[in-house]
Chains A and B, each alone.
Chain A
Amino acid sequence: MDRYSRQSELVAQDNLKNAKVMIAGVGGLGASVSALLAMAGIGELVLVDKDKVEISNLNRQILYHEEDVGKMKVDVAKERLNEINNEVKIRAMREKIEEGFKIPEDVDIVVDGLDNYETRFIVEKACIENGIPYVFGAVEGYMGMVSFIDKSTKRLRDIMHKTRTAEAQVLGATVMMTASIQSMEVLKYISKKGDLLRNRLLVYDGLSSNFLEVSV
């Protein structure tokens, strides 16, 4: 029995081992996605974030503890992810994502852990130019949404037509539910399995316990 024996029939473990996934932002979504992908045995995670841990992050950002307040998120995340799985290579990039951002070489897929649309459009553009899929995710309150975007699909502007960035209330449970769906998309894509959320926006509303699927 090895550490992946309970999932080896579900995913292409060698593909996961050889995969490189970039996490754009290791806040709520990014921290949870990176933990799930480290557990699953992704070969390399590239973490990009410019922020430090704040006390108000701790209700939903699973990798950070009280003693981490004031430290760079990517540095703490790297340490914690290696405690989860030391076989995973972690690259921590203390960087602000701005226009002209270059996705590191050999990244297979990018996961959205961002909190604003300006940066999301920059990352999406870089992904499309490099032929790399982008797993969009966003949360607010009890609600989360996910979609899978690549050069064959509609773009973020076709999915979210009227964007507005606002700091909102959000629960850790909402974040982890949404991050789980994003992680599932990554594992399916790398394993070449299942039906991805291409041209589909999946909305989860925890308050009413409802899912909504919107074809775009």
Chain B
Amino acid sequence: MNIKVRYFGRFAVALGIYSESIEVEENLKVRELVELLKRLHPELKNEIMEISIDGKYASENMEVHGEVAVYPPISGG
């Protein structure tokens, strides 16, 4: 299954891309996607990622589908 992944904030800066299409297995869980992204992109290996799918927050046990957005928790004010 092919999915589109959009990167936000420091993730896009680290990778030098704003989005990409990747091939993933059917029934992949969000937590597995996070591990996959860390393997694909070692720049992200120490990062904490928040994930949304089709505009909704996606918890770790949700199945991946549709358009995925990956964004960092940020703290500055």
Contacts and interface: CB of A to CB of B under 8 A. Distances in A.
B75 A165 contact: yes
Contacts of A138: 74-77
Contact of A170 (B57, B73, B76): B76
B73 A160 contact: yes
Contact of A163 (B8, B59, B71, B75): B75
Contacts of A139: 74, 76-77
A129 B9 CA distance: 33
A208 B73 contact: no
Contacts of B6: 210, 212
A145 B74 contact: yes
A208 B69 contact: no
Contacts of A25: 77
Contacts, number: 103
Interface residues of B, number: 23
Instruction: Give chain A's interface secondary structure class.
Output: mixed
Contacts of A1: none
Contact of A164 (B48, B56, B71, B77): B48
Most buried by B among A25, A27, A140: A140
A116 B72 CA distance: 15
Interface in B35-64: 48-50, 52, 55-57, 59
Interface of B: 6, 8-10, 12-13, 18, 48-50, 52, 55-57, 59, 69, 71-77
Interface of A: 25, 27-30, 112-117, 137-145, 158-168, 170, 201, 203, 205, 207-208, 210, 212-216
